[in-house]
Amino acid sequence: MIVSNLEVVPGKRTTRHFGLVQGSSVRAKHVGRDIMASLKNIFGGELKGYTELLQESREEAFNRMLEQAKATGANAVLNVRFSTSSIAAGAAELFAYGTAVTLE
Amino acid sequence: MYDLIIFIVLLAMGYGFGRYAEASHYKSIIKREKQLNKIPAVATRIPPLDRQDLNSQLVSGSVVISVDYFKRFVAGLRNIFGGRMIAYETLLDRARREAILRMKEEARGLNAEFVFNIKLETSSIYKGRRNSVGSVEVFAYGTALYPS
């Protein structure tokens, strides 16, 4: 499965379009991590716990998108975009979408 | 009275540790930027189409950085008078550069020649008291092109 945020892949030709595929994941933060984060809010610096949390949930959204692409029979996802939105205090939605295509 | 002492202690700790953290972070950013300079990362959408030997793969990097107590206080004062908020400017600058570096490190692992179509996404994930920006997340992604 080729995944790219470009519209074309060098050396390959798009033969079929399957339309939009998407995946999303909503995560809430962990209390333990929140305590660490509030300490870091005094000293400044990277919040590693949050970085990991967001990375994991973005990966989940990404994998859901890939599953959808596989189910349609595509062999690549082009023009992938990510978006983040906070829907409530302490919870964030991570969203990944792209176009499923067949490349030759 | 106690409140005032706690406030001053927090302010002093924020100033000391925050300054140190920022200086060492900038040092490491500049050092790693020099190492990764040989992988051009561009925002162009069209890859070199005449190259048949390139594989593409999505690479990404993200970071969450928090501002310290002192800077948040200074920024709060700025809210009264208006003007540039240097405290937050450096925070965002650091976060963006760090996210791009992490993305490039992933690209280096693939032996990539270029990274195309870089997108940066910024979101404030932790709102502190009085709705001030507590920390920001920057996510950078792009397509690494590497020879097969």
Question: What value does the mean pLDDT take over residues B12-32?
Answer: 90
Distance from CA of B31 to the nearest CA of A (A): 18
Could you give the strand order of the β-sheet that contains B54-66, starting from the edge strand earlier in sequence? Answer: A45-46, B54-66, B133-147, B114-127
CATH number at residue A97: 3.30.110.70
Q: CB A46 to CB B63 under 8 A?
A: yes
Contact list, A99 vs chain B (CB under 8 Å): none
Stretch 73-102 of chain A: residues touching chain B, C-beta under 8 Å = 80-86, 89, 92
Domain that holds residue B78: 2-147
Interface probe with B: pick from A31, A50, A58, A99, most Cβ of B within 10 Å: A50
For residue B126, the chain A residues in CB contact (below 8 A) are 37, 41, 47, 50
pLDDT tier at A86, thresholds 50, 70, 90: confident
Q: Which domain holds residue A75?
A: 2-103
Instruction: Summarize pLDDT for B85-131 with one digit per residue, the tens.
Output: 888 889 999 999 999 999 999 999 999 998 999 999 998 865 555 55
CB distance from B142 to chain A under 8 Å? yes
Structural domains in chain B (count): 1
pLDDT at residue A11, as a whole number: 84
The mean per-residue pLDDT over the stretch A37-48 comes to 79
Q: Could you say which of A41, A54, A85 has the minimum Cβ distance to residue B66?
A: A41
pLDDT at position A22 is 95
Main-chain dihedrals φ then ψ at residue B52, nearest 5 degrees: -90, -15
Could you give the percent of chain A with pLDDT greater than 70?
92
In the prediction, which pLDDT does B130 show?
Answer: 53
How many whole angstroms separate alpha carbon B98 and alpha carbon B94? 6
pLDDT of residue A47: 84
Alpha-carbon torsion (B15, B18, B21, B26), positive or negative: negative
**Number of independent structural domains in chain A:** 1
pLDDT band at A30 (very low <50, low <70, confident <90, very high): low
**Which pLDDT score, from 0 to 100, does residue A68 have?**
94
Any idea what DSSP says for residue B111?
T
- State the CATH number of the domain containing residue B6: 3.30.110.70
Q: Is B137's CB within 8 Å of A43's CB?
A: no
The mean pLDDT of B64-76, rounded to a whole number, is: 85
Name which of B104, B65, B24 is nearest A50 in CA terms.
B65
The token duo for A22 is 């998407």
A7 or A38: which leads in pLDDT: A7
Q: Which residue of B50, B69, B135, B146 to mutate against A (max A Cβ within 10 Å)?
A: B135
